[in-house]
């Protein structure tokens, strides 16, 4: 079976499908329609990350795994590129920063002019480039290969933040809430998912995914308001957990109290123990399971009582084909929240999700086939069961985007960062105009007005 690497953009309005012969970009505007807007099938691609709904896409190819290409896909042109000392494992983007993760180092660029602002060297070996970048430029990455310890870094101010000891075993998945206030973590065991406050490293939630077996968590994703957290793995079940706003407020309130009046070491230990007890009590009181654990925790081993105190899923999805990698997202489509599941088999699955009730299993309502770049996108209508489905085709997608040639350019970032005058991106240069045009786009995402005011390009 041919496998695809599929990922969503920052506000879940677009997705990139990376296959064996290139990459393609799709827009998500409704449940019924997924539209292909670009197709590049001339180079075998490893990574393709689009910046919101802009024309900028960061690309890494198989032929040059240590080179990052910044492209203006609507023009079919390469704006610039930069070579790193080893293979690029992951790339993260927001409106201010571009993050490149290697096995033992991380590079932070200003996305407006692509200057290298900072590099984090000699980090613990990170074989898959695991990291997360929030919309307000909080960066998280593992700092141990033997346990689940992670570091929060402010990529805007280039300052170290809190250190979080999230799990006993090494991390397999991490992701910020959109505003960067929370971070969700999962270890390689995959049985427990934890949510922490990024200001003070306090644990806000602990969710139990399962107790029978260890699994590989492939994706953790908050919705836009950080009210729900979705987790997918290599099993047949996808879990959606509900975030308690009161617990988040308590953690943030405590962070402000800590910053205004730092206690002594003895006072801090006493205070932390009292607060941890308070948080556990509040978590326990939210469900009858927690109430039961409160009554029996004195008579059971700590490992057993911990299981009782952990929150269960708000809703679930039962997959028909377990064992594959699924990337999940909770997104607004036509003003309704939907659960999106992008699978490495090349299909996008869309489920109903009712925020107002605890509804158990979510219903599959649409499947889109994203495998065939020249024939368009296939829609599968879902009836009461997965097996009862009728197939229809969308209108043929314009062939203009699929005929775009492979972008080529002589501009290199190595020259820019070394100060080569002929390669510097000045305000007047064509490359700088292409970069500004690609980053700035008329369609605003749901986070733009709140999070990202316009940033002017600084003249060299």
Check the CA dihedral 117-219-344-340 and report its sign: negative
Let me know if residue 153 belongs to a domain: yes
Measure CA of the first residue to CA of the last residue in the chain; give whole Å. Answer: 50
Let me know if residue 225 belongs to a domain: yes
β-strands 360-361, 315-318: how paired? parallel
Number of domains forming the structure of the chain? 1
Q: Which domain holds residue 114?
A: 5-254+311-369
Q: Contact at 8 Å (CB) between 25 and 344? A: no
Let me know if residue 271 belongs to a domain: no
CATH number at residue 38: 2.130.10.10
Q: What share of the chain is helix, strand, coil (3-state, %, to 5)?
A: 20, 40, 45
Cα distance between residue 274 and residue 263, in whole Å = 14
Order of strands, sheet of 45-50, starting from the edge strand that comes earlier in the sequence:
45-50, 56-61, 67-72, 77-83
Let me know if residue 45 belongs to a domain: yes
Let me know if residue 142 belongs to a domain: yes
**Per-residue model confidence as pLDDT tens for the chain (460 residues):** 789 999 999 999 999 999 878 999 999 989 999 999 999 877 899 999 999 999 999 999 999 999 999 999 999 999 999 999 999 999 999 999 999 999 999 999 999 999 999 999 999 999 999 999 999 999 999 999 899 999 999 999 999 999 999 999 999 999 999 999 999 999 998 989 999 999 999 999 999 876 666 788 999 999 999 999 999 998 889 999 999 999 999 888 876 766 655 544 444 444 444 344 444 444 443 444 444 444 434 444 444 434 434 578 899 999 988 889 999 999 999 989 999 999 999 999 999 998 777 667 899 999 999 987 544 444 444 444 333 433 333 333 333 333 333 333 333 333 333 333 344 455 556 777 778 878 875 444 333 333 333 333 333 3
pTM value? 0.76
Let me know if residue 339 belongs to a domain: yes
Let me know if residue 208 belongs to a domain: yes
Let me know if residue 138 belongs to a domain: yes
């Amino acid at each position: 079976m041919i496998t695809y690497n599929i990922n969503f953009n920052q506000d879940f309005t677009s997705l990139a499908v990376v296959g064996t012969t290139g990459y393609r970009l799709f827009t998500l505007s409704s449940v019924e329609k997924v539209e292909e807007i670009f197709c590049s099938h001339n180079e075998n691609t490893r990574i393709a990350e689009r910046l919101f709904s802009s024309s900028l896409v960061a690309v890494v190819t198989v032929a040059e795994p240590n080179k990052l290409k910044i492209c203006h896909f609507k023009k079919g042109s390469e704006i610039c590129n930069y070579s790193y000392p080893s293979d690029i494992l992951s790339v993260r983007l927001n409106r201010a920063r571009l993050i490149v993760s290697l096995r033992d180092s991380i590079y932070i660029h200003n996305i407006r002019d692509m200057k290298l602002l900072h590099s984090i060297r000699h980090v613990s070996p990170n074989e898959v480039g695991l990291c997360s970048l929030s919309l307000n430029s909080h960066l998280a990455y593992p700092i141990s290969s033997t346990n689940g310890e992670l570091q929060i870094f402010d990529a805007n101010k280039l300052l170290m933040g809190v250190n979080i000891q999230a799990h006993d075993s090494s991390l397999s998945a991490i992701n910020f809430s959109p505003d960067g206030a929370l971070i969700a973590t999962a270890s390689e065991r995959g049985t427990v998912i934890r949510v922490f406050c990024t200001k003070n490293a306090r644990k806000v939630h602990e969710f139990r995914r399962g107790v029978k077996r260890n699994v590989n968590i492939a994706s953790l994703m908050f919705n836009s308001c950080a009210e729900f957290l979705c987790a997918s793995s290599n099993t047949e079940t996808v879990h959606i957990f509900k975030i308690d706003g009161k617990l988040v407020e308590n953690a943030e309130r405590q962070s402000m109290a800590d910053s205004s009046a730092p206690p002594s070491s003895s006072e801090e230990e006493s205070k932390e123990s009292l607060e941890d007890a308070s948080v556990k009590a509040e978590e326990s009181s939210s469900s009858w399971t927690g109430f039961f654990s409160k009554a029996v925790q004195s008579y059971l081993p700590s490992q057993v009582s911990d299981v009782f105190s952990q929150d269960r899923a708000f809703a679930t999805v039962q997959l028909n084909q377990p064992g594959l990698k699924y990337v999940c997202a909770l997104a607004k489509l036509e003003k309704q929240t939907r659960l999106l599941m992008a699978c490495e088999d090349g299909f996008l699955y869309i489920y109903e999700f009712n925020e107002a009730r605890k509804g158990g299993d979510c219903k599959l309502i649409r499947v889109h086939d994203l495998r065939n770049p020249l024939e368009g996108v296939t829609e599968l209508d879902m009836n009461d069961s997965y097996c009862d489905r009728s197939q229809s085709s969308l209108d043929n997608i314009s062939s203009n985007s699929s005929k775009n040639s492979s972008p080529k350019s002589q501009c290199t970032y190595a020259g820019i960062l070394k100060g080569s005058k002929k390669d510097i991106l000045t305000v007047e240069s064509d490359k700088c105009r292409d970069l500004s045009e690609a980053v700035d786009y008329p369609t605003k995402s749901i986070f733009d007005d709140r999070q990202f005011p316009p940033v002017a390009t600084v003249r060299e």
